[in-house]
Amino acid sequence: MSQNNTLKTVEWKDNSVVMIDQTKLPNILEYVTYTNFNQVADAIRTLVVRGAPAIGVSGAFGLALAVLQSNATEKDELIQFLENAKKILFETRPTAVNLAWGLDKIMQTAIQSNTVDEIRNNVVETAKKMADEDIQINMSMGKIGSDLFDDNDTIMTHCNAGALATVGYGTALGVIRATKDSGKKIKVIATETRPIQQGSRLTAFELKHDGIDVILIPDTAVGYTMANGLVNKIVVGADRILRTGHVYNKIGTYQIAIMAKQHDIPFYVAAPLSTFDMKSNPEDVIIEQRKASEVTGIGDKKTAPDGIDVINPAFDMTPPELVSGIITENGIVKPPFEKSIRQLFAAN
Ligand code: MRU
């Protein structure tokens, strides 16, 4: 799944959106085709497509379908239709800021266009461009981030921040791919990532597919591998990064960062600029709560008693003091993050 060996996670084809159904991986590689923005909203909600950059582009493609679906003949009417579609797409998943970023970018394009025909054309073209740029951004980020990794490193990653979480190549896994492509010999430790196993189902699948040496561990073995010197560095993706350097990512990231601190292991985050939220404070960020059945069973098999109470947050927050550096397409920022992130955005 390197850029030349592309399985595109999400793609615009013949006025429809084609996605890999990630709920079926790794056992079945199946593509689904959507022609209606409501279908895309359902796909985001049910994790057919997931990962912050992938849902950002999927949201944009959802609005591209909406402009083609609408029969509006006046600009105001079409914008109204798009606002409604945007609301439905936006409400699917609250934590990854890339979704709002993708939707806002398309709405801006629509509002700045003059006629209904111009809106239709510009919205579709902008969404396609966002998808192409996602791959280029990940490849730049990968190259920049690869400098932080050395020959013979064993790198831990969590969840899936790979080609499947983006349009292609990946953020954290993009850095890993670029490190390998630079000639360094590396190994990866992938956490299983309960409850729905993006690590074992997706990260292990992608890395094996690309011939990258990968070892799978249960989430509960993170401390063991660190304490026994089996990990040198960590790189994860992010769903939202605040201007203060607070990182929101898949549930379990925070405990990995704490253990990394305890064992003096560098903890890096790789994320594009579209993952930064420069306005919110930690108390503003909504952590998505998912259904109990993800925890009370594995696949279709029940593994907990009926009626058990469950807490199932999809994400957690890692505070800036646990983060060694954040890799972006425009450079690596280091602590103190409030200052380095401000400088990064001022320069762009
Ligand atoms: O619930 P998911 O699978 O959408 O969560 C994905 C993650 O947490 C990823 O680590 C994050 O989106 C970064 S992806 C490049």
Atom of ligand 1 nearest to the CA of 270: 15
How far is residue 103's CA from residue 127's CA, in Å, rounded to a whole number? 10
Q: What does the alpha-carbon distance between residue 120 and residue 249 come to, in Å, rounded to a whole number?
A: 34
At 120, list the tokens.
């239709």
Q: Which residues pair with 317 in a beta bridge?
A: 248
The per-residue pLDDT for 230 is 98
* Alpha carbons 265 and 53: distance in angstroms, whole number: 27
**CA–CA distance, 54 with 192 (Å, rounded to integer):** 21
Query: What sign has the CA pseudo-torsion 248, 253, 259, 264?
Result: negative
Task: Please give the Cα distance from 219 to 89 (Å, whole number).
Answer: 31
**What average pLDDT does the chain have?**
96
Largest CA distance in the chain: 66
- Per-residue pLDDT at 8: 85
Q: Which is the closest atom of ligand 1 to the Cα of 50? A: 4
Name the pTM for this structure. 0.96
Between the CA of 258 and the centroid of ligand 1 the distance, in Å, is 19
Question: What's the chain's length in residues?
Answer: 348
The SS3 of residue 192 is coil
Between CA 239 and CA 124 the distance in angstroms is: 25
Question: How many angstroms separate the alpha carbon of residue 54 from the centre of ligand 1?
Answer: 9
Residues with CB under 6 A from ligand 1: 50-53, 96, 159, 161, 165-166, 171, 198, 237-239, 249-250, 314
User: What pLDDT is recorded for position 299?
Assistant: 82
Q: How far apart are CA 222 and CA 213, in angstroms?
A: 18
Please list, in sequence order, all residues whose beta carbon lies within 8 angstroms of the beta carbon of residue 62, skipping any fewer than 6 positions away: 17, 37, 40, 41, 44, 85, 89
Atom in ligand 1 nearest the alpha carbon of residue 250: 8
Give the mean pLDDT of 38-49.
98
Reported as a single tens digit per residue, the pLDDT across 300-321 is: 899 999 999 999 999 999 999 9
User: Which of 21, 132, 239, 264 is the catalytic position?
Assistant: 239
State in Å: Cα 84 to ligand 1 middle. 26
Residues 206-265 pLDDT 10s: 999 999 999 999 999 999 999 999 999 999 999 999 999 999 999 999 999 999 999 999
Q: For ligand 1, atom 5, which residue shows the shortest CA distance?
A: 51
CA distances from 69 to 39, 72, 81, 91, 107 (A): 12, 9, 10, 20, 16
Residue 199 per-residue DSSP state: I
User: Which tokens hold the place of 300?
Assistant: 């279709």
**Which residue from 47, 249, 295 has its CB within 8 A of the most atoms of ligand 1, so it is best to mutate?**
249
**Which of 134, 159, 234, 291 to mutate for ligand 1's pocket (most ligand atoms within 8 Å of CB)?**
159
- The gap from C-alpha 137 to its chain's centroid, in whole angstroms, comes to 13
Cα of 53 vs centre of ligand 1, distance in Å, is 8
Q: How far is the CA of 19 from the centre of ligand 1 (A)?
A: 16
Which residue's CA lies nearest to atom 15 of ligand 1? 161
pLDDT, residue 7, reads 63
Dump pLDDT digits (tens) for 16-31: 999 999 999 999 999 9
Task: Verify whether residue 239 is a known catalytic residue.
Answer: yes
Looking at the CA of residue 275, tell me the nearest atom of ligand 1.
Answer: 13
CA pair distance 256, 49, nearest whole angstrom: 25
| Alpha carbon distance 19, 162 (integer Å) | 15
